[in-house]
Amino acid sequence: MKCYITTPIYYVNDIPHIGHSYTTIASDILARWKRLNNFNVFFLTGTDEHGIKIAIAAKEKGKTPQELCDEMSAKFKEAWKLLNISYTDFIRTTEQRHFIAVEKIVQDLLDKGFIFKKKYEGLYCVGCERFFTQKDLDENGCCSFHKTKPALQSEENYFFKLSSFQDALLERLTNPNHKEYIEIQPEERKNEIIGKLKLGLEDISFSRSAIEWGIPLPFDKKQTVYVWVDALINYITAIGYPKNEVTFQKYWPADVHLMAKDILWFHSVIWPAILMGTGLPLPKKVYSHGFFTLDGNKMSKSLGNVISPQELVDKYGVDAARYLVVTLIPFGPDGDISWQELTLKYNTDLANNLGNLISRTIKMAEKHFNLQVPETKPDLELAKKVTTTIKESFALNMDNIQLHKAAEILQNAITLVNRQIEIDTPWTLAKTDMNKLASCIYSYLQAISIIIMHLLSFMPSISEKIWQIIGASGNINETAKKYFIDAIIPENGFSVVNSQLQTPGILFPRIV
């Protein structure tokens, strides 16, 4: 089975920050989880490089747009490398393959009668790269995201007959039995989209005459394709449209487009309309998460409060940074984050709960069993209890990208094992019953191995390391793949008797 997952392609006028990281890490966790569940995953990210915003940013920096794009796109790639993002492909909209796809779609829409020319005057927000009508603006006449007044622009453009798709869109967004049903998540945002859709759709500008930094229209080279149309098409370019029919058929339609609420309209209305216009299948799911603020403030370069991936990694390490970013606030609604809360969660979940469990288990094995999995009759009771705690709701939450809930389930499982240690009091068993002590430590190691396989998508590197620390056999990825299919714990457990353990050092040093 295949699974095609996409992040937005990010504008290159900004450096990668925690906002971009949030969507990208969440998508990566989903991609890794799906791979472990034997899906053939195509995971796409990239950069959005055309449009007036990029042209202005380049001019301000004294660079050509292409120079800026090359420099900034590389920064996104570096950030994703740092955060251990396992993308299948990184697309740039300035690539030749993308020009070919955009030209084909635009020509198709013209041929099918969905494009027409008209003189237009409208209010354009450069930040959003879109025209607004008065009713879309706030009480001060400003764009509600950028808090700036859009400038009046007048030009002769090509237009896309978006209005002619209103009924077809409503049907596909509201009727789960429709064969081309698009699921919008979360429900509240879906209702907002449907409400707005019911008010009626206006045709949208499809090209710009005054902006050179873009893809020229194949039928009128003096105009460039509107940057949002250009950008959305990236999702089909990357899987081979139009030249590589085989990969395109293999992966399209997308299983989930992930993004924040700011661009949900483009993905759930404009993109499906473009696809319908050309006769291509529609994405299955469009999932938007909230916007987060930092200490109650909007993050912005001018406020100087933007958190970079590097700062997160410097403070917490890569694996913990990935875990914290996606579990601190629920995936869906808006939320506020702060360094204090990130650190508190780090100390609670990772230093105290997980780190402590591993450290105390290995210490006992070191002290009493020569740093080996103790020789005992395999006791899998605790591992089975852990499996029951985690089992179905974990998978359900991972599939629904409720990562904070999935992580909570794992924390409950870790707490369960830590409690069992308190109940067993192995420190007294060491004086009274070495056989029982051996059996207890063995059981903790098996329980930890189950937990770690589930943590693997969140924290890939440290999970691999812990797998070796606890003397578990085989490659963790291969073992987890098998375990997620048959859910069977091998008779002798994952950490086999007499296997060598490793001293963990301090996996998650407490941060004050």
List of residues contacting ligand ME8 (CB under 6 A): 8-11, 14, 19-20, 22-23, 48, 231-232, 234, 259-260, 262-263, 291-292, 299
77: annotated active-site residue: no
**Beta partners for 3?**
41
What is the smallest separation between the CB atom of 282 and ligand ME8, expressed in angstroms? 15
Question: What CA–CA distance (Å, rounded) separates 446 from 441?
Answer: 9
Residue 462 half-sphere exposure toward CB, CA atoms < 13 A: 22
301: annotated active-site residue: yes
Question: What CA–CA distance (Å, rounded) separates 257 from 43?
Answer: 10
Q: What is the DSSP string of 318-334?
A: HHHHHHHHHHSS-SSS-
What is the smallest separation between the CB atom of 17 and ligand ME8, expressed in angstroms? 7
146: annotated active-site residue: yes
Of residues 117, 196, 298, 363, which has the active-site annotation? 298
Nearest to ligand ME8 of 78, 167 (CB atom): 78
Residues 133, 100 contacting (CB under 8 angstroms)? no
Nearest to ligand ME8 of 288, 457 (CB atom): 288
298: annotated active-site residue: yes
What's the longest Cα–Cα distance across the chain?
90
Nearest to ligand ME8 of 7, 361 (CB atom): 7
What is the smallest separation between the CB atom of 15 and ligand ME8, expressed in angstroms? 10
Nearest to ligand ME8 of 292, 323 (CB atom): 292
Question: What CA–CA distance (Å, rounded) separates 93 from 221?
Answer: 18
Of residues 81, 178, 198, 301, which has the active-site annotation? 301
128: annotated active-site residue: yes
112: annotated active-site residue: no
Backbone dihedral region for residue 121 (phi beyond 0: left; psi -120 to 50: alpha; all else: beta): beta
454: annotated active-site residue: no
440: annotated active-site residue: no
Backbone dihedral region for residue 233 (phi beyond 0: left; psi -120 to 50: alpha; all else: beta): alpha
Query: Closest residue to ligand ME8, Cβ-based?
Result: 19
Of residues 143, 267, 289, 440, which has the active-site annotation? 143
What is the smallest separation between the CB atom of 235 and ligand ME8, expressed in angstroms? 7
CA 272 centroid distance within chain: 21
What is the smallest separation between the CB atom of 347 and ligand ME8, expressed in angstroms? 24
**Element (H or E) spanning 52, and its range?**
helix 52-60
Nearest to ligand ME8 of 73, 439 (CB atom): 73
Nearest CA-CA partner of 159 in 229, 210, 100, 222: 229
Of residues 3, 128, 440, 454, which has the active-site annotation? 128
Residues 312, 21 contacting (CB under 8 angstroms)? yes
Query: Annotated catalytic sites, by residue?
Result: 17, 20, 125, 128, 143, 146, 298, 301
